[in-house]
Amino acid sequence: MRKILILGAGRSSFVLIKYLLEHAEQNNWFVRIADFSEDLAQKVLGSSKHGDAISFDVNNKIQRENEIRKSDIVISMLPPNMHILVAEDCIAFRKNLVTASYVSDDIKKLDQKAKKAGIILLNEIGLDPGIDHMSAMKVIDQIKDASNELISFKSYCGGLIHPEFDNNPWNYKFTWNPRNVVLAGQGVAKYIENRDYKYIPYSRLFRHVDAVNILDAGEFEGYANRDSLAYKKSYGLQDIQTLFRGTLRRKGYCSSWDLLIQLGVTDDSYKIQDSIDMTYREFTNLFFPFDSKLTVEEKFCKYLAVSYDSDEFSRIKWLGLFSNERIELDNVSPAEILQKLLESKWSLSPQDKDMIVMQHQFIFHAKGELTRLNSSLVVYGEDSQRTAMAKTVGLPVAIATKLILNKIICLTGVRIPTEKDIYLPILEELEENKINFIEELV
C-alpha cells in the first residue's frame, strides 16, 4: 500500500484531503494527515478508514525525517518558507514532493539534486499559481502549434464573495490570507505594454485599473500584479509585445483602497506607540496635520481630495476608521491595525459562499487576421468547507499527486505545470469536476 503524507490541514487542504481519501481504496493508498493541531487533522480525516491524523512539527527534524522516510509522496500545504526543509528531506530519501506555492530561490537551487535523486519537486500547482499556468499554456501552445503569432497575453484572477452573499459596500470579503490582502501590491508592478516596459509604484498602482467582463459573473476591475516579467521565460513568450498579469476586484474597490494607501494605513514598516489605548478615530487622525477647526472626516476629505458624499468616502466610513472603538493592539504597525479592523468587517460568515474568477485574454495573428480570444473561468463555493478557493487550490494538487503515484507524470527536477505532460491530464480531470474554461472569440 502506498503512503501519502500531507503536511498541513488548514482551510485550503479540505477538498484535497477529501479527494485523496475518496480515491484511496481504488488506488491502494493510505493518507496520513499531519498538522501542528492533531484535532484539526482528525477533524478533516473524519471517520475515514483510509487515513490517520497526527500532531506534526515541521521543525522537529527527527519527526520530519521519520514521516517523510515512511511515505511514498509528500504534499506540503505548509507556509511557503517551510517548504525548503521538506524538499531537502524529500531529496535525501528520494520522495516526490507537491506544493501549491511559488517556487522559491532556495527550491530552484535543488533542481539538479532532485533530478539526480530521480524525483519531482512539483510547485505552483494550486489556483494562482497553478490553474492559471495550465489553462494559459494550453491556449498558448495551441496558438503556437498552429503557427500563429501571439502578440498580447493578459491574465486576471480574483478570489471574491459569491454574488448572493455580497452584502457590503466594498463587494469583498476575505477568502484567503487577510495579511496578504492588506499588503497586496506593495513594491513595484512590472509588465510589458506594446513592447514598452512599465514600472508602476505602489503609490499609483490602484489608479491603473482595467475593466474586465467575465461571462455571467459581471464586471470587474483588475490591477497589476507585482511581477509579470518573469512569465516571459516560464511561458516561452520572449517576443511578446504585451504581457500583463493582474488581480480582480469588483468595481469601485481600487479607488477606495487607493485612499487607504494615500492615508498611510497600509504601511507595515514601523510601529505605532501606545496603539493599545487608541481608538480607530484617533489612529486615523495621526496621519493629518493638526487642525482644531476640522473634524477627522473633514481632514480626510480635504487632504485626500475626496468628496464627502462619494462612494469612496462611504466605503471608508463603513469600515469604521472614524469610530470610537478601541484598537486594543499594542506596538503594531498601521497595516496590522487596518487588518484587525478589516477582519471584523470582511470575514466570511458561516453561511457565506465564495467565488473564483479568472480570465486570460489573447491577441494573435491567425492567417493574417488579428484574432482576440478570451478564456474564462467562474467557480462558486458550495459551503464553508468546499469553498471555491479550496476546490481550485486543492483539486489540482490532489490530481497531480495521483498522476505522479500512478507514473503518468514521470518528470524529475524542480517543475511548475507549464508542460503538456503535466497540464493536459490535470485540466482534463478538472473539467470532470466542473472546473472548466469557456473560450470566446471577442
Q: Express each pLDDT in 264-315 by its tens digit.
A: 999 999 999 999 999 999 999 999 999 999 999 999 999 999 999 999 999 9
State the angle between helix axes of 420-432 and 388-405 in degrees (0 to 180), rounded to the nearest 10. Answer: 130
Q: Are residues 209 and 222 in contact, defined by beta-carbon separation less than 8 angstroms?
A: yes
- pLDDT, residue 57, reads 96
Residue 421 dihedral angles phi and psi, to the nearest 5°: -60, -25
- pLDDT, residue 141, reads 97
416 in the Ramachandran plot: left (φ > 0), alpha (ψ -120 to 50) or beta? beta
Helix/strand/coil for 388: helix
Residues 239-253: what's their mean pLDDT? 97
* CA dist., res. 301 & res. 295, Å (int): 10
**Residues 6 or more apart in contact with residue 326 via CB below 8 angstroms:** 277, 278, 279
Residue whose C-alpha is closest to residue 237's, from 192, 302, 171? 192
Residues 381-390: what's their mean pLDDT? 92
∠ Cα 21 22 23 (to 5°): 90
DSSP 417: S
Residues 405-418: what's their mean pLDDT? 97
Helix/strand/coil for 174: coil
Residues 187-191: what's their mean pLDDT? 95
**Residues 6 or more apart in contact with residue 143 via CB below 8 angstroms:** 150, 362, 364, 366
Q: What is the pTM of this model?
A: 0.93
AA identity, residue 364 = F
Half-sphere exposure of 23 (CA within 13 A, CB side): 18
Q: Are strands 196-201 and 369-380 parallel, antiparallel or unpaired?
A: unpaired
Q: How sure is the predictor about 401, in pLDDT bands with cuts at 50, 70 and 90?
A: very high
Q: Are strands 413-415 and 438-441 parallel, antiparallel or unpaired?
A: unpaired
Residue whose C-alpha is closest to residue 243's, from 261, 230, 257? 230
Q: Would the pLDDT of 248 be above 90? A: yes
Q: How sure is the predictor about 368, in pLDDT bands with cuts at 50, 70 and 90?
A: confident
Look up residue 403 and give its three cell numbers.
498522476
Q: How sure is the predictor about 179, in pLDDT bands with cuts at 50, 70 and 90?
A: very high
- pLDDT, residue 217, reads 95
Each domain of the chain, given as residue ranges in start order, spans: 2-123
- pLDDT, residue 103, reads 95
Look up residue 333 and give its three cell numbers.
504597525
**Residues 6 or more apart in contact with residue 433 via CB below 8 angstroms:** 391, 395
Residue with cell 520522495: 95
Residues 403-424: what's their mean pLDDT? 97
* CA dist., res. 92 & res. 74, Å (int): 13
Residue whose C-alpha is closest to residue 224's, from 201, 202, 247? 247
Instruction: Write the DSSP string, 233-248.
Output: HHTT-TT-SEEEEEEE
CB atoms within 10 A of CB 208: 15
* CA dist., res. 161 & res. 172, Å (int): 6
Q: Are residues 85 and 58 in contact, defined by beta-carbon separation less than 8 angstroms?
A: yes
Which segments of 146-270 are extended strands (E)?
149-161, 188-193, 196-201, 210-214, 218-224, 242-250
- pLDDT, residue 176, reads 79
The C-alpha R_g of the chain, in whole angstroms, comes to 23
Q: Could you tell me which CATH class the domain 2-123 is placed in?
A: alpha beta
* CA dist., res. 320 & res. 342, Å (int): 9
Residues 216-230: what's their mean pLDDT? 95
* CA dist., res. 139 & res. 135, Å (int): 7
